[in-house]
């Protein structure tokens, strides 16, 4: 008999909880999750790499004209290096000016490893920032 009283009391408590507490929560919509662009961004921002959010600038005629007008040059150890028509050129420098008479192509076939690494570094500096 005492178990029956406990069972009835538990059922009454569950019914009271169901009708008053849970219905009150269902009617109160102020705490529900609202989906917005800001909320979704906050959730995924740590899982998406930064370069996905970078704005890529379009290639314009003025940029093409400016790049065709100028040549990138690297000055290293009294020599000037530049790339023209997919060929690496080098010229000696005298008194801070490039001596055009000493202009020659760089021959990478006969270089040792140290010289080749130096040329690779120069080419990377010359092509830095250019799209392929």
Contact 106, 88 (CB under 8 A): yes
- CA gap 127, 118 in Å, rounded: 14
Strand partners, 90: 81, 104
Query: Between residues 32 and 43, which one has the greater pLDDT?
Result: 43
Q: Flag whether the pTM goes above 0.85.
A: no
Tell me the pLDDT tens digit for each residue of 89-122.
999 999 889 998 999 999 888 889 999 999 999 9
- CA gap 48, 86 in Å, rounded: 37
Q: How confident is the model at residue 60 (pLDDT cuts 50, 70, 90)?
A: very high
Q: Where are the domains positioned within the chain?
A: 71-127
- State the residue for tokens 């490893």: 113
User: What pLDDT was estimated at residue 89?
Assistant: 95
Structure tokens at 115: 């010289």
Q: What is the mean pLDDT of residues 25-50?
A: 76
User: What pLDDT was estimated at residue 32?
Assistant: 66
């Amino acid at each position: 008999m005492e178990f029956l009283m406990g069972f009835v009391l538990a059922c009454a408590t569950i019914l009271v909880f169901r009708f008053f507490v849970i219905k009150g929560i269902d009617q109160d919509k102020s705490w529900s999750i609202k989906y917005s662009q800001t909320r979704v961004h906050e959730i995924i921002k740590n899982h998406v790499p930064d370069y996905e959010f970078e704005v890529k600038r379009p290639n314009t005629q003025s940029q093409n004209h400016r790049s065709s007008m100028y040549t990138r040059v690297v000055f290293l150890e009294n020599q000037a290096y530049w790339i023209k028509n997919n060929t690496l050129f080098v010229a000696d420098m005298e008194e801070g000016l490039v001596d055009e008479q000493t202009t020659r192509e760089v021959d990478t076939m006969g270089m040792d490893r140290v010289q080749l690494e130096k040329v690779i570094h120069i080419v990377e500096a010359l092509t830095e920032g250019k799209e392929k």
